[in-house]
């Protein structure tokens, strides 16, 4: 008899509550692939088998891409990257060299190569780079399945409504699972920047990653509750827990539906204070979802993601032009579209070019600093932006620089933008001069000089994700210090308050695009501090708009005034929770009460 109510925890990366039967998927390391020594005359046979398997695997990915054609969630670009990896000459020749030099069969050569790469990658501390190794593992697993005669596209055939438990999932597998309508995903490995998570979000599959002991505690067919909000898993829940979560899940599904129906209403509080709710996008095609979820504009388009998952040349103006054109042509106008110039370095790396290794990348040449150090790349992007804008002059276009540290730095970046504008005008492009130029406030020093920056900028956007990490000296990706990463720290609130006041005094538009906008208590405090514009991932927008309608501005201002007198984040949170009571329930972030 299985043990009841086993709780496991990981990182909740796609919200939602589901109850389903576990379906376990094993990775490359769990299968017993045939490994055998071969006589010299068989080497060419093994090499042929390998080449054949590469082509078959390439075709399998092509088949998945075809099935996806026309789907707005189309993550085909990730599959393309895997196809390129499969046909990579260096990779193929390293397989072949091992077959010949060690006289081993193709499966073993693939495993050997994978093992050698794994050793090198595991020594790398950066999470993003480590995750790129997963891509190699996915490609090799597919190759191994093909070599062993399995159809890699059929291996994954879960029963309907299954909750998948996997060491990790390839993007291709995740797409197949998404199309199979699985209920949820639980992985042992993976962080929130993985491609798998990007796809799980696109398919809206509730997902928890980093559940270290999943395979120890979950067996095939076990009943599992997955709470993607809290990153919580309950294995073999008793009848009482199942009914609590089932009721909660039904309520949320019904609420999701109801909220989507009214998500196009304007953002406002119960007493009619207008609050603009904008969308954060990582890829241009997400704009379709942003519109469908009631976004009143795009508050942040992270232009660097394109280069992190695509083998595209970041110095190619045409690539930037095409990307922004695709974004703008799908936006009907009416609200701002904010393009952030590339924010690479730190933990974000382009696929095609090597950035120099730095001892402390978070404090190194990242973001705007990187752009200013490589003006030809920066200009390629800015020229691409402006040329795309020329095609859609009716759009309220905003160009925003990330990680601005000083007035001089902002002025330098703006001068480069103006230079691009002048050059394009001389070249005969008719570009309206009505676009706005602004700065992200995500360094503590930048918030403290917001009054000075406001004389230069036409708008601000607060980047709370980086602000918290720099102000509190807490790495935003390190789970060991995650409990110290607190947006409600009074020091953070004071800095944000200072910036909002400076912007208001100068009449400069100010918004918040960090993830703090998705949490109800911090968002309300920002409202109380005077913020009237929030930008967040599209899926949060209907919830945020609904929640805003439950509060009155005068009440929130009063709560905020008191909250600012409290010494610690915990005190502020407890006070706000007690004051808001059950209005916090049934939000994205609700606590599940086990009554
Ligand atoms: C931020 O830092 O808050 C932000 C929105 O930018 P990113 O998360 O891309 O660093
Ligand atoms: Mg940032």
Same domain, 247 and 278: no
Q: Give residue for tokens 């790396």.
A: 349
364: domain CATH number? 3.20.20.60
| Full residue range of the structural domain in which residue 54 is found | 32-147
Q: Cα-flanking dihedrals φ and ψ of residue 32, to 5°?
A: -95, 85
Question: Which of residues 195, 227, 255 is at a domain's end?
Answer: 255
Q: How much of the chain, in percent, has pLDDT values that exceed 70?
A: 89
Same domain, 401 and 271: yes
Question: Which of residues 255, 284, 316 is at a domain's end?
Answer: 255
Q: Which of 43, 263, 457, 513 is catalytic?
A: 513
Q: How much of the chain, in percent, has pLDDT values that exceed 90?
A: 54
Closest CA to 437 of 488, 472, 392, 386: 386
Distance 539 CA to ligand 2 centre (A): 20
Same domain, 497 and 585: yes
CA distances to 53, 278, 402, 450, 564 from 462, in Å: 50, 13, 10, 11, 19
Same domain, 349 and 239: no
Does residue 115 lie in a domain region?
Answer: yes
Same domain, 435 and 292: yes
Active site residue 513: yes
Query: For residue range 1-57, what is the model confidence (pLDDT) as tens digits?
Result: 567 888 999 988 888 899 999 998 865 545 556 777 888 889 999 999 999 999 999
Same domain, 368 and 351: yes
Residue 253 CB coordination number (10 Å): 13
Active site residue 195: yes
Q: Give the range with max mean pLDDT: 196-210, 471-485, 507-521.
A: 507-521
Closest atom of ligand 1 relative to the 465 alpha carbon: 3
Average pLDDT value for the chain: 87
pTM tops 0.75:
no
Average of pLDDT values for 502-516? 95
Same domain, 429 and 293: yes
Distance 462 CA to ligand 2 centre (A): 9
Ligand 1 near 463 CB (within 6 A): yes
52: domain CATH number? 1.10.274.10
What protein residues have CB closer than 5 angstroms to ion ligand 2? 442, 463, 466
Q: How far apart are CA 54 and CA 113, in angstroms?
A: 15
The tally of domains found in the chain comes to: 3
Same domain, 220 and 338: no
Query: For residue range 70-119, what is the model confidence (pLDDT) as tens digits?
Result: 654 556 777 888 888 888 888 888 899 989 988 888 988 988 888 777 77
Q: How far apart are CA 398 and CA 401, in angstroms?
A: 10
Return the ligand number nearest the Cα of 342.
1
pLDDT at 312 over 90: no
Same domain, 24 and 62: no
Concatenated DSSP letters of 323-352: HHHHHHHT--SSSEEEEEPP--BTTB--SS
| pLDDT number for residue 434 | 95
Return the ligand number nearest the Cα of 368.
2
Ligand 1 near 304 CB (within 6 A): no
Contact 586, 251 (CB under 8 A): yes
Does residue 1 lie in a domain region?
Answer: no
In DSSP terms, 536 is beta-bridged to 279
Q: Which of 23, 195, 293, 489 is catalytic?
A: 195
Distance 540 CA to ligand 2 centre (A): 19
């Amino acid at each position: 008899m299985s043990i009841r109510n086993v709780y496991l925890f990981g990182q909740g990366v796609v919200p939602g509550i589901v109850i389903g039967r576990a379906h376990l998927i094993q990775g490359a390391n769990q299968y017993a692939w045939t490994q055998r020594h071969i006589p010299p005359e068989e080497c060419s046979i093994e090499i042929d088998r390998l080449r054949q398997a590469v082509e078959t695997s390439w075709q399998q990915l092509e088949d998945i891409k075809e099935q996806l054609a026309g789907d707005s969630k189309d993550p085909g670009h990730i599959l393309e990257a895997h196809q390129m990896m499969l046909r990579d000459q260096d990779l193929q020749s390293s397989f072949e060299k091992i077959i010949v030099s060690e006289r081993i069969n193709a499966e073993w050569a693939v495993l050997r190569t994978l093992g050698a790469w794994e050793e090198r990658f595991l020594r790398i501390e950066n999470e993003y780079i480590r995750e790129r190794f997963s891509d190699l593992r996915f490609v090799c697993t597919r190759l191994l399945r093909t070599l062993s005669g399995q159809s890699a596209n059929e291996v994954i055939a879960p029963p309907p409504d299954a909750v998948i438990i996997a060491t990790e999932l390839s993007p291709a597998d995740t797409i197949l699972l998404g199309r199979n309508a699985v209920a949820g995903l639980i992985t042992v490995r993976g962080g929130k920047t993985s491609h798998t998570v990007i796809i799980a979000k696109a398919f809206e599959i509730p997902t928890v990653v980093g559940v270290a002991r999943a395979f120890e505690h979950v067996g095939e067919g076990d009943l599992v509750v997955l709470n993607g909000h809290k990153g919580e898993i309950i294995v073999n829940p008793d009848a009482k827990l199942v009914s609590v979560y089932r009721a909660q899940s039904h309520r949320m599904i019904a609420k999701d539906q109801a909220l989507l129906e009214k998500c196009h209403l304007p953002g406002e509080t119960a007493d009619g204070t207008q609050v603009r709710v904008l969308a954060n996008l990582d890829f241009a095609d997400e704009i379709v979802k942003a519109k469908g979820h009631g976004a009143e504009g795009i508050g942040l388009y992270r232009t660097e993601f394109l280069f992190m998952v695509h083998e595209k040349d970041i110095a190619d103006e045409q690539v930037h032009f095409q990307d922004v054109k695709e974004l703008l042509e799908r936006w009907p106008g009416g609200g701002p579209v904010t393009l952030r110039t590339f924010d690479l370095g730190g933990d974000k790396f382009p696929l095609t070019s090597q950035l120099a290794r730095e001892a402390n990348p978070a404090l190194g040449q990242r973001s705007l600093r990187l752009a200013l150090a490589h003006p030809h790349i920066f200009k390629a992007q800015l020229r691409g932006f402006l040329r795309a804008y020329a095609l859609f002059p009716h759009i309220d276009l905003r160009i925003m620089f990330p990680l601005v540290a000083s007035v001089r730095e902002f002025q330098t970046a703006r001068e480069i933008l103006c230079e691009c504008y002048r050059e394009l005008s001389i070249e005969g492009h008719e570009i309206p001069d009505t676009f706005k130029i602004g700065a992200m406030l995500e360094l503590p020093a930048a918030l403290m000089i917001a009054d000075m920056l406001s004389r230069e900028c036409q708008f601000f956007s607060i980047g709370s994700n980086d602000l918290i990490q720099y102000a509190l000296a807490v790495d935003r990706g390190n789970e060991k210090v995650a409990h110290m990463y607190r947006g409600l720290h009074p020091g953070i609130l004071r800095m944000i308050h200072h910036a909002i006041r400076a912007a208001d005094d100068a009449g400069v538009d100010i918004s918040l695009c960090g993830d703090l906008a998705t949490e109800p208590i911090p968002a309300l405090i920002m409202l109380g501090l005077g913020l009237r514009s929030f930008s967040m991932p599209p899926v949060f927008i209907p919830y945020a708009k609904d929640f805003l309608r439950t509060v009155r501005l005068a009440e929130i201002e009063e709560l905020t005034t008191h909250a600012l007198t409290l010494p610690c984040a915990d005190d502020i949170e407890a006070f706000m929770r007690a004051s808001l009571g059950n209005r916090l329930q049934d939000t994205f972030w609700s606590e599940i009460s086990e009554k």
